[in-house]
Chains A and B, each alone.
Chain A
Amino acid sequence: MSGAVGGTLADDSLASAGQLRLTWLRFRRHKLAYVSLFIVVLFYLVAIFADFLAINDPHAVDARRGYLPPQAVHLFDANGFNPHVDGMTGRRDLKTFRQVYVPDPNKKLPVTLFARGYPYELFGLFETDRHLLGLVTPEPLDGIYLLGTDALGRDLFSRIMVATRISLSIGLASVTLSLILGILLGGVSGLYGGLVDLFLQRVIEVIRSIPTIPLWMGIAAALPNTWSVVRVYFAITVIISLIGWTELARLALPAMIISETSLSFLGLGLRPPAISWGILLQDAQNVQVLAGAPWLLLAAVPVVIVILAFNFLGDGLRDAADPYG
């Protein structure tokens, strides 16, 4: 055992190590899971500081900068260190009538850290307008669009940051709810056994043999249009966890995130102005749009990374939960 954990610990300290410490040591050996833990924590930090990391107001619409391609931040220019982005000038292509943008190397917009931008409330408590990155002198129409903009000229990077909040929290909330349901019903069926147990087992089998997405779609579509974003959010959470609790056998968080993403992608989950990854991907639904603005697909990247990280993390946790095995 000592050899397996690594030579860093004397045998004595390992022998007296508690369950928690053994679990942690074992978890650290699973490299991918260990890295994934950091990635997941990073994602939740992004969710917490989303507004700070966002550069432009994620809701600000301006058709004059629709489908702006991603911009790069240049750190140096001819005079040495001078972080800036090139201003973009748009014009209509007279053949296709599409708005095309060309970077204008003469129009340098200096970039700075901790810049002033749109006002927001940090943790819902402190009113501030500081952002990690921003222009030194913000002007309307100018801005840093690291990942380009969508049809309405909203900044994709900022939207992805803010979307993290809903997409990650809905997974967590659904899993918590499912867990409570699962423990409650599992406990009841274990405690009373016999007929109750048999009945609950059958109920689980029945739920699992129904294709879930049509069911979700049906229930989600029945939510009244007049509901506020928050109410829809809670309703979706409840729906996902009601159907999802039967699958507690494995780490269900990634499945819940995928569920929300697919539902919103179909336009049946959360609705704008809420921002989630599924809603961002909804804009990327058809090939014609993608051909002109392929950067819209970038909203898929965080989805894939976070689900991958959760899967590895789940793997590592499962292995680690039994440190004596």
Chain B
Amino acid sequence: MAQEFLKRNLQTIVFANSRLYTEVLMTYLQQANPVPPGRLPAVRGYRGGYLPGERREIEHGLREGRIRGVVSTNALELGIDIGSLDATVMAGYAGTIASTWQRAGRAGRRSGSSCAVLVASSAPLDQFIVQHPDYFFGRSPEHAFVQPDNLEILVNHLKCAAFELPIATDETFGSVDVPDLCNRLTEAGFLHRTGEHWHWTQEAYPADAVSLRSVTSDNFVIVNITEEAEVIGEVDFSSALTTVHPKAIYLHQGQQFHVEALNFEERKAYVKRVDVDYYTDAIRYTQVRVLESAASDRIDARGADAQAARSHGDVLVRSQVIGFKKIKFFTNENVGDGKLELPENEMHTTAFWLTLERPLVESLPFSVSDRQSGMFGLLHALESIATLLLMCDGRDLGTAIGERPPSPGSAIEWEEAASPEAIAALAEKEFFEPNLYLYDAYPGGIGFSEPLYRAHHILLAKTRELIAACPCENGCPSCVGPVGERGERAKEAALFILSRLGV
């Protein structure tokens, strides 16, 4: 689609929903629009990980009209002046109505017509939007979701506040125990109590260390060592393990770099320029453990107990990148894979989960593996509807299924696995009494779990609608996930479970 616009010399912006996808699309478009060697490519890429100098140059080029096409993440959605373009192509639904209008608004000249196109991906939400256009056009943009009591964010705020003005012992700040937090900050060496106030006692200016775009602010720096070492970009901590793991192909402005080494402690990734015909996609394995349940209730199915429960509370999410796939450009074939041994990433956050109790599971008229398929399929669909209800981005939530621990918070052992194969095997394990988790993808939690807990009726009902109304036979990416990954009876099983849950 974008190529059609570019062929007609219409200045076009393409929005992609992930950094990887941006780079892949840009590679395709650059190959379709070759320029003489030595000249800058006609289609440029743009995303947060690029260095500021590069980004300014691209913004300038867009304003002046020199750059005819750009593929970007939501980094160019708003706030930056790039002038007005002729066309916007959105590769996939942005996740919120507000973002979609924002992206569409990038196209629009004072004279002449312009055009905005949304190309739906196979993701359930995309399909939903495309099949229910009135949902999109009829609704007003979402409201912002704010969680002021996320402890990570709050403590950073407290540090900056202490710098600005010493904190008095009787001051309040949100709903937390300020003196307690201040004492902890004192123990950690940030504050010092004098009389009735806590003063900032560090050399550095605290706001410098607080990132506006992520909850914690550790960045990885990407160093190109093809010739003399130079920094070419950066990536935030949580994405680092999936995008710049050793042997990954890191894409930057359509240029491919092979990650030679990753220094975790120093937060540096060393890359060399290469020219290959594939890119990599990391395989991540996630485990969730309940730390403390804030609230729990039975699920009622038409007057009777469904032998299931809903809860929300604090969880520990452990994820590990165990390997990666090599995917060929253009054909998307899987041309190989690799194993990785990387540190685990542990994150303390909040989650909402459904517990399917043993009697319910055993009563499902399906084989064990089909029951599993049904559960995974159900969770896949639940996730999409949750993002719709919460009006958040798909990446703000994570999913996992885990065996329900004997009692919440009890010292359950993590399933230690010696090798990636063993870990992968764990993923196939049979669940007797599973918890289906929907967790906030940010440390400290950002307030999604409680609303999901309270709105569980709507959540389940809309999920049923999504799956039932899907025209596929046995499952597809738009409802429970592709048949190849889920199994042939996933859709049927998921619907059955839902009926048991009373919807």
Q: Do A and B make up one complex? A: no
Residues of A at the B interface (CB closer than 8 Å) are: none
Chain B residues with a Cβ under 8 A of chain A: none
